[in-house]
Structures are given as structure tokens and as C-alpha cells.
Amino acid sequence: MNPQLIGFLLVWLAASLPAALLVGWLLRASGRTEQPLAQAPSPARKPLPVVSDRIRVLCVDDDPGLRALLRATFDLAGVELREAADARTARVEIAAFDPDVIVLDIGLPDANGLVFCATLKNDPATARSSILLLSGAEGVTPEDVLRVGGDAFLRKPFSPLAVLETVRRLAIRSTLAGETVAHDAADAGADQLTLYARDLRTLLDIEQGQRVLLKKAYTETVLALVRALESRDTPTGAHAQRVTKYAVELAETLDPELLDDPGVEYGFLLHDVGKIGIPDLLLRKSGPLELSERRLLETHTVLGEQMLGDIELLRGESVAVVKHHHERWDGSGYPDGLTGTAIPESARIFAVADALDAMTSDRPYRRALAWDTAVAELLDNERTQFAPDVIEAFRRCEPRLRRIHYEFAR
């Protein structure tokens, strides 16, 4: 496939593919698939599967404390939640929200939850939603739930993970009508806050795991795009990876907090993404560029900004690197001719890293310079091309940068 087409497809993928689908794709690719379960697992024995799609849930309960616990639980798992304290409000929310699952307390202040469940299930407009009934009353049985059309039943107090697992299965229609959710033996004597506290660590681990998977998905997409670009521009390869390591090292030396923005490193990797729109003959030209050719090449910074500007993760410092990494401290750079600290810090840092790698790598128009020669050139251009604080950081971490260079050269 044409590398330029690959590049456009990958940018579209990163921009348009929902985060949850990326996570789901990674899970399927690794061979992890969900199987229908007859009962909810005990949280102590089996971790909760990652929710692989955005689930809409309506919680109907007059206890604000319990709703707050469920809200925190569902937020961590990426579930979209709305709440109602009574049947009247629930009807309004159902009409507006069309929930996949309704978590319904049997003891509502203005209605019997069993009767309300039967009403919802008998109405074609609301029958689509699965209903998980909650009750702390001993007299309610699974048979009562089945009789009114409920899809699952859970006694209070309950494990938040049991609720989340049941909701997930109801949303994908893999549960049995009238199912009773099993309790861990330790749950029977515990209050609701104790059960929530027990499960909180697991919920946080789940949320962290989702973030790791999502970051891996974005990184793999970005690296695939970078490799497609490098096959056109720098056939020797690994430029983006090298220059990113240089830039990260410089940022850690100068301003470590800059790297708290996850988009910064993606900006380092994707700094030349706009070259997708530049002809191959121009990118690989071995001789000097004509003025018109140079002007066309310089448009890659603005093209890159336009390509990445609508991607949520890559806004801010990431796009700043892409657009401004060819600005110069003295204002003679492009595309905007910014001077001094008007140039975003991430772009000032990257400019040094990019120049270092450009000088110490083979290019179509010349052979690589020796490391010490490149270092001297950088220092000579302090306060003209490069920011003085970045050059000072470069002096401090130069041995580490040299090590990175020789590690890639092996």
C-alpha cells in the first residue's frame, strides 16, 4: 500500500476511533474474549473484565448515599450514569436517556419497585432496557423478580464489583431473566460502605489498567504512522524514536512537569506528520532546494497542525511541537516567526533535539557529522537559533544524549 495512503488512514484511525474501541481491539487481539456467565464472580477470586463499550445506566434509588457509591463505581469503569430518586423522575430520565440498564430499588417512595418493573417491561417503549432489581428486604425472592420481568436481582448490601459485572452482562444481553447475583460469604455481615471500601482498590486498578491499554493503543498507532513517514523521508529509519528520546531527556532536565502532559511525547514523535502532504521527490532530493521547493516543504508544520488539531489527546503542547519546532530564538524561523519565549517551551526543547539528530544522522544531501562537531554547532547557535535555557540543559545532560545516540547506532 502507498505509504502516503497508510499515513492518512492512520491519522484518521487515531482521530476517529473511540478510546473504548481501541481498548476492546487490543483485548481481542491478545485473545481475551468475554464468555457469558451464569453468576457474578466473587471480586476476591476473579477481576472484573474491562468494560468494552460505553454503557448507559439509570440508577433509581431514594438513598443518596447509595447513589453516590454507585456513581463512583460506574465513573471508574467508564459507564454513563444518570440518577433518579423516585419512579416519577425515573420515567422522565428513561424517556430522555434510553438506558441500556436500569438499576432499580424495590422500595421507592412513590411506587413499589416490582410493580414499576412490570409496567416498564410491558410497555414497548421501555421494554428494551434490562432491569437489575435491588432489595434489602428478606421477603423478596428471585421468583418475584422473574414474575415481573426483571433481568437480575441483587440483595443489599452488595459488592460494587458485583453490580458492575451484572450491569455489563445485562448490557450485552448475556444474562438469564430473574438471575440472582451470588454473594461472597463475607458480604452477608458487611455494611455497604465496608463493601465499597473493599472493592475500591480493585476499581482503581481496573481504571489504571484501562489507561495503560489506551496509551498502548495510541502509541502503537502513532508509531505505525511514524514508520510510514520515515519510509519516505529518512530511509535510514528511527529518526522519530531517537529525537523523541533526546527531547524527553532535555525536558526532564529543564522542566520535568512538562512531561505530565501525555500529548507532549506524541508531539515529539509526530513532529513531521505534515510531510505526508509533501511530494517524495522533494523529501528525497539530494541537492539544494529551490526557493519555491523550500516554501512548499515549510508548509509541513501547518499541515501537521491541521491534521492533529481535532484529536483530543494531541491538543495543546503536542500540536505546539508540530507547528513550531522550526521557529528560531531570533525570530527568523517558520511558520510564524516567533521570537524568544513566545515560542512554546515544548517546541524550543524539541528544536535542539531535532537539530542534534539531523546533524548526527545521514541525510540524502550529506553524511552525518561527528557527535562533537554537532555539539559545537549547537552551542555556537545559542541565542540565535536555540533558546539559552535549553542549551544550558543540553550541556548538563549531553553525556546521556550521547549514550542514546550510540545505543541506536548499535
In DSSP terms, 103 is beta-bridged to 59, 132
List where CATH 3.40.50.2300 sits in the chain. Answer: 36-206
- Look at residues 78, 57, 38 and name the one whose alpha carbon lies nearest to residue 174: 38
Work out the burial of residue 169: count CB atoms within 10 Å of its CB; fewer than 13 is exposed, 13-18 middle, 19 or more buried. Answer: buried
Q: Which fold has domain 36-206?
A: Rossmann fold (3.40.50)
149-201 pLDDT tens trace:
999 999 887 777 788 888 888 887 644 444 444 444 344 445 555 555 555 65
Predicted confidence (pLDDT) at residue 99 exceeds the cutoff of 60: yes
In sequence order, which ranges of 123-191 are alpha helices (DSSP H)?
142-147, 160-171
CATH architecture of 234-409: Orthogonal Bundle (1.10)
Predicted confidence (pLDDT) at residue 358 exceeds the cutoff of 80: yes
Average pLDDT over residues 331-351: 97
List where CATH 1.10.3210.10 sits in the chain. Answer: 234-409
- Nearest 5°: the CA angle 319, 323, 329 is 120
What does the chain come to in residues?
410
Locate cell 499515513: which residue?
7
Predicted confidence (pLDDT) at residue 25 exceeds the cutoff of 70: no
Predicted confidence (pLDDT) at residue 254 exceeds the cutoff of 50: yes
Work out the burial of residue 86: count CB atoms within 10 Å of its CB; fewer than 13 is exposed, 13-18 middle, 19 or more buried. Answer: middle
Q: How far apart are CA 330 and CA 336, in angstroms?
A: 12
- Categorize the per-residue pLDDT at 18 as very low, low, confident or very high, splitting at 50, 70 and 90: very low
Q: What is the pLDDT of residue 157?
A: 79
Q: What is the pLDDT of residue 195?
A: 54
Average pLDDT over residues 245-256: 96
290-305 pLDDT tens trace:
999 999 999 999 998 9
Q: pTM for the complete prediction?
A: 0.52
200-214 pLDDT tens trace:
656 566 666 666 666
Locate cell 522533494: which residue?
282
- Look at residues 42, 43, 47 and name the one whose alpha carbon lies nearest to residue 182: 42
- Long-range contacts of 189-195, Cβ-Cβ distance < 8 Å, separation of 24 or more: 190/157, 191/157, 192/65, 192/66, 192/69, 192/156, 192/157, 192/158, 193/69, 194/157, 195/157, 195/158, 195/159, 195/160
- Coil, strand or helix at 60: strand
Mean pLDDT over each residue of the chain, to the nearest integer: 78
313-330 pLDDT tens trace:
777 888 999 999 999 999
**Please, which residues have CB within 8 angstroms of residue 260's CB and are 6 or more apart in sequence?**
none
Distances (CA, A) of 342 to 10, 17, 187, 348: 32, 34, 59, 10
User: Per-residue DSSP letters for 276-320?
Assistant: GGS-HHHHT--SPPPHHHHHHHHTHHHHHHHHHTT-GGGTTHHHH
Q: What is the pLDDT of residue 263?
A: 84
**Residue 12 φ/ψ, nearest 5 degrees:** -60, -40
- Coil, strand or helix at 112: strand
Residue type, 382: E
